[in-house]
Structure 1
Amino acid sequence: MKRFVLLDTAPIPENGGALCLFEYGEDFVIKIQGGDGGQLMNTRMHGSEDALAEIPCKRVTHRPTPRVLIGGLGMGFTLASALKHLGKNAQVVVAELVPGVIEWNRGPLGAKAGMPIDDPRSEIRCADVANVLQSEPQGFDAIMLDVDNGPEGLTQRSNSGLYSAAGLQNCHRALRAKGILAVWSASADRKFSERVAKAGFKVEEVQVYAHGNKGTRHTIWIAEKR
């Protein structure tokens, strides 16, 4: 019988909380310490994380030297998908706030996604993605954000600024001409679509399966800079 085995705990900087990595049979699961027991992510269901990178990267891969930013390393599946859909001249910058998550991706957890952090096109930064956005105006052809459960499903209040009008304007400034912003969410949110449009984007809301082609669906906003 499978059971959850705690492997490690990683403090969240300036938060007071922590993330916990569990082994569950052949899979890995990340939860918030002291939470309601729900999973933030697991290695068995990552179809929507794959799509978060596939959709925007396919739109910018034709550019001579595409440079993209991923907010949140997670279990590495979005990074792996970005590398799969971009050419050899691309660069993928990943901003991950929690040092422990980066270390987990260097071990057995990372092997589940094919060790994408070892790809020479990958640049892993232990940093708040909001700071990276502010520091690199017109620095990216695409930005992919997956730092929480979405604009209305936050587990960490500190992430709310990223989804605010000011946060979306920072994304707009950090994108090159016709750049693509992709935002992952566990659920749909019409008000957020309107907020993205007001920030200067042409936006569409895409529903994708969490795993396979049936069951739970997640939402990805795909927004082109106007």
Structure 2
Amino acid sequence: MLPRETLATAQVPDGDTLTLVSHGRDFIIMLGRDELMGTRMQFSEEQLAVLTLAELDAKRPRLLIGGYGMGFTYRAALDKLPEGGSVTVAEIVPEILEWAKGPLAHLTEETLDDPRGQIVICDVAALIDDANDGTTDKYDAILLDVDNGPDGIVRDANYRIYSKTGLGKARDALKSGGVLAVWSAAPDHKFTVRLKESGFDVEVREIRARPNNKGPRHMIWFARKR
């Protein structure tokens, strides 16, 4: 059995420790003792972007992504982004970008220099607030992959994102007909109900973690602003 090698660590603000490890040719980001994401199971995170863009009618969509991680969602968004579109990523752990430029550079490729995108070191809730107070334009879609789902919180401050108040702010930060897409490692019926009560029409899709229809079943909520 191949051993896991620790490559780097980083502290989540007000949260647990992230650890980047290698396992043969694969890379994994651990949160404490739990696997947060890895290169063997990235398909559902890519589909978060691909399927969201397929839901949009905007010719030049403006996207906000909560969480960079290993860049799977960001790269997929850039790959499928229509001409004139833009992508902003909010990431709270600065070391994540150091890993993207270092041990994970083969995954990152040229995405960090793509003029259609930008990565901001901040809480995604802050950028949602900016869109609500007019500091920035509203978004056609907001994609959230900052936790293991509404019931798998990485840091206590993220609870507000999935509350009725937080969902209301996300709705108000969207343009008419905009989509809030939320990735999760597990189902959560109560979250579906909260989305509907917060002014969204909701579709929940089950996506396998690997493109060959294998691996764990992950969930993505597609919530369209009414």
Query: What residue is the counterpart of 2:186 in the other structure?
Result: 187
Change (3 A) 1:18 1:115: farther
2:198 paired with 1:199: yes
Counterpart code for 2:2: K
Identity %: 45
Query: What is the aligned partner in structure 1 of residue 63 from structure 2?
Result: 68
Counterpart in the other structure of 1:39: 35
Contact 1:58 1:85 in 2 (8 A): no
CA displacement at 1:154 relative to structure 2 = 1.9
**Distance of 2:101 and 2:60 partners within structure 1:** 26
The letter for the 1-side match of 2:60 is T
1:134 maps to what in 2?
129
Superposed counterparts of 1:106-121, under 5 Å: 106-121=101-116
Q: Would you say the 8 A contact 1:71–1:94 is kept in 2?
A: yes
Question: What is the TM-score with the length of structure 2 in the denominator?
Answer: 0.93
Which residue identity is paired with 1:146? D
Structure 1: gaps of 5 or more residues: none
Secondary structure of the structure 2 residue equivalent to 1:112: helix
- Among candidates 43, 49, 53, match of residue 49 of structure 2: 53
1 CA distance for matches of 2:103 and 2:85? 26
For residue 115 of structure 1, report the CA deviation from its aligned partner: 4.1
Cross-structure match for 1:8: 8
The residue type equivalent to 2:219 in the other structure is T
Give 1:120's aligned amino acid.
P
Instruction: Kindly provide the CA deviation profile for residues 180-211 of structure 1, in whole angstroms up to 9, marking residues without a partner as x.
Output: 11000111111100100111110011100011
Q: Output the amino acid matched with 1:103.
A: E
Q: Which residue of structure 2 lines up, in the alignment, with residue 144 of structure 1?
A: 143
* Displacement after TM superposition at 1:39 (Å): 0.6
SS at match of 2:101: coil
Alpha-carbon separation, structure 2, partners of 1:204 and 1:87: 23
How far apart are the structure 1 equivalents of 2:102 and 2:114?
15
SS of equivalent residue, structure 2 residue 104: helix
Question: Is residue 215 of structure 1 aligned with residue 211 of structure 2?
Answer: no
Q: Distance in 1 between matches of 2:69 and 2:215?
A: 22
Match of 1:184, SS state, is strand
Residue 152 of structure 1 aligns to a residue whose secondary structure is coil
The verdict on how the C-alpha distance between 1:88 and 1:107 changes in structure 2, with shifts beyond 3 A counting, is farther
Unaligned runs of 5+ in 2: none
**What is the TM-score normalised by the length of structure 1?**
0.93
Aligned residue-pair number: 221
1:219 is aligned with what amino acid? M
The question of whether the paired residues in 1 share the 8 Å contact of 2:203 and 2:223 is answered with yes
8 Å Cα contact 1:148/1:155 also seen in 2: yes
Q: Distance in 1 between matches of 2:103 and 2:60?
A: 31
Q: Which residue of 1 aligns with 2:120?
A: 125
CA contact (8 A) 2:16 2:154 kept: no
The 4+ residue runs of structure 1 with deviation greater than 4 A are none
**Counterpart pick for 1:87 among 82, 89, 93:** 82
Q: Which moved more, 1:152-161 or 1:167-176?
A: 152-161
The 8 Å contact of residues 52 and 182 in structure 1, kept in 2 or not, is answered as yes
Contact 2:50-2:80 at 8 Å conserved across structures: yes
